[in-house]
Amino acid sequence: MTRGEPEGKNGPKITELAAVVGVMVSILVAATSLLSNSGNLPSWWFYFSLILLIALTFFIPIMIFIRPVRERIGERRLERRLNGIARRYFPKLKDLVIKSRYFNNSVRTLMDNIRRRYEKEIKSQLVSHVLESHNINETYDTIVVIEKEIEESDKTYCNLCLLMKRFEQVLESYKRNLKIHEVFAHEIMTTTDKPITKDLEADYEAFREKYNDFLKDVTDFCNNINQETGRRDFPEHSFEYLKKL
């Protein structure tokens, strides 16, 4: 079962069915006993008991089976309500995904610029390779796929949850790359005993402000859906804002 999919029972449990069988057997035994002793009972008591047994024969199974029917009706109503909410939020998710393209290019630029500026201070080929941000293209491809899936989706709540999960992976990719950038910047400042150059710091600060605003939009998106649905299917507390270097 995927996240966001309404849970429900498909029918009576085996124990409930066994209970029905047990009750029906008891009613059958009681009816047999009643019929065999009908000559020794007042007519009014006989007919009253017979009507009661017949009523129990129909009433008990109905009470057992009506609950899963009610649950199924409730699930359908919940599903329709959630799908109605989801249809209103699909365009908003698409806008966030489109905005994330800008940050994909910006993350690449930040990492490439600091790598080029401090090439001489980079002693490890592994560090240099990591700073080349080789997974940026893969992240961009994921964004394109998400956009396409949003367009082709049947706009259900479950699909919205799944697409948001995919989008989380994009944001996690940004988080990893930005953490690499942050760690490397601090290593450079420690190695050179100087702050990073003003232009790189200014570029990072400009990016940081825009990216934090973007994360706030994503958080608000998740929070609004959770409040409207009364559920917690969207990760409203999962996004860490960038700090100054």
pLDDT of residue 124 exceeding 70, the answer is: no
pLDDT of residue 3 exceeding 50, the answer is: no
75, 6 Cβ separation under 8 angstroms: yes
pLDDT digits (tens, 9 = 90+) for 68-97: 778 888 889 999 999 999 999 999 999 999
Q: In terms of pLDDT, which residue wins out, 135 or 138?
A: 138
Task: Name the residue ranges covered by the structural domains of the chain.
Answer: 14-76, 90-229
Confidence of residue 117 (pLDDT cuts 50, 70, 90): confident
pLDDT of residue 239 exceeding 60, the answer is: yes
Q: What pTM value is reported for the model?
A: 0.71
